[in-house]
Structure 1
C-alpha cells in the first residue's frame, strides 16, 4: 500500500477552487490583518516605549546634582558579607555637605556608599536631588541605553503577542462557526442520502 503524500500549497486560501469555503477566505484575511497590525503596532509601541523611558532617564539624570561631601565616619566592619564571604567594594559612611538648593547655605548630614579604604575627613562624591536629599548616582549612558532598548523591545514584543493572540482567537471563532455550519449541512445531506439509499 502506498503512503499518501501531504502536499502543502502556499496561498491556497487565496486561490479560486471548488473546495475553498468562504470561511477559508475570511481566515486568510484575519491572518494577514493580524500580522500587519502586530508588525506595525509592535514597531510603534517599541518606539513610544523607548522614547518614554529615554525621557524618564534623561529627566532623572538632569535632576541629580553632584556635591562634594566630607566623610565623617564609616560603618564599622569590613566590606565582606559574614554569611556568604562575598567582598563588597563599598561600605556605608556618614557624610556632611553644604546644600545650596534652597538658596541658603545649609549643612546637611546623610549616609552614602564609600570605598572601605576611605578615611574620615576625606572628600567623597555624593549626589542630591532638587530638594537637597541624598540620592544614588545617576545611571551611566550604557545603563541608560540598556534600559531604553529593553523597554522598547518589551513593549514591542508584548504588543505583537497581544495582537497575534487576539487574531488567533478570532480565527478560532471563525473556524468553529464554519465547522458548526459544515456539521449542520452534513446532517441535512446525510438525511437526504438516507432517503435515497434506504
Structure 2
C-alpha cells in the first residue's frame, strides 16, 4: 500500500480523470501565493536591513563625542542591582558653537566633582545617547531583517485579560469613564 511520496505531494499536478478544475485553480493559487510570500519576504527583509544600516550610519554622522566636566560628586553605589552603578547628575560641556552648556546625564557612581567624562551631543549641542557602532548596527540590521514583523496579538490578549474584557488603553487612571 506504499505509494510514491512525491506523487502524493504533487497529486494536483498529475493527469487524473477525477481531478477537478477547482483542484487545478487551488494548486496554481498556492504556488503563486508561496512565490509572493518568499520573494516579498526576502525583499522586505533586505529593505529593512538596508534601512537599519542607514539609520546607524546617520546616527554616527550626527553625533559627536565631547569632554564634559562633572559638576557634583556622585555618591557610591550601595547595591549592584539594575542600573544602580550609574546616576543622573549635572555636567558641563562645550557645544559646537563654543558656548558652555549644562545638562544632566548618567554618570558612573563614585565619580567626583571636576572629573572629565565623555558625553555625546548632536550638531545643535544637545546631549544624545551614544550612537550605535558599525558592528552593532550590522548585527541589529541582520536581526531586524531576519525576524518577521507579524502583527502582534498583544492588544487582543490585553482586552481579554483586562477587567470586564474591555481594553483599558486610553482610559483614565480611575478606570473607564461612564457615559453621562
Contact 1:94 1:112 (C-alpha < 8 Å) held by counterparts: yes
Post-superposition shift, 1:12?
A: 0.9
Q: Which has the higher helix share?
A: 1
**Aligned partner of residue 69 in structure 2, secondary structure:** strand
Distance 1:44 1:58, change over 3 A: same
TM-score, normalisation: structure 1: 0.66
> Deviation at 1:95?
0.8
Q: Tell me what 2:45 maps to.
A: 46
5+ residue gaps, structure 2, are: 151-180
Equivalent pair of 1:79/1:91 in contact (CA under 8 Å): no
* Counterpart selection for 2:131 from 125, 138, 146: 138
Residues 155-187 of structure 1, C-alpha deviation per residue, up to 9 Å, x if partnerless?
xx348xxxxxxxxxxxxxxxxxxxxxxxxxxxx
Distance in 2, matches of 1:78 and 1:118, equals 11
| Pairwise CA distance, 1:88 | 2.5
Deviation at 1:146, TM superposition (A): 2.9
Name structure 1 gaps, 5 residues minimum. 160-198
Cα displacement (A) at 1:20: 0.3
- The root-mean-square deviation of aligned C-alpha atoms, in Å, is 2.3
CA distance in 2, matches of 1:68, 1:120: 14
CA distance in 1, matches of 2:125, 2:56: 20
Q: For residue 73 of structure 1, give the secondary structure of its aligned residue in structure 2.
A: coil
The match for 1:93 is 89
Runs of 4+ with deviation above 4 angstroms: 5-8, 74-77
State the Cα distance separating 1:27 from its structure 2 match: 0.8
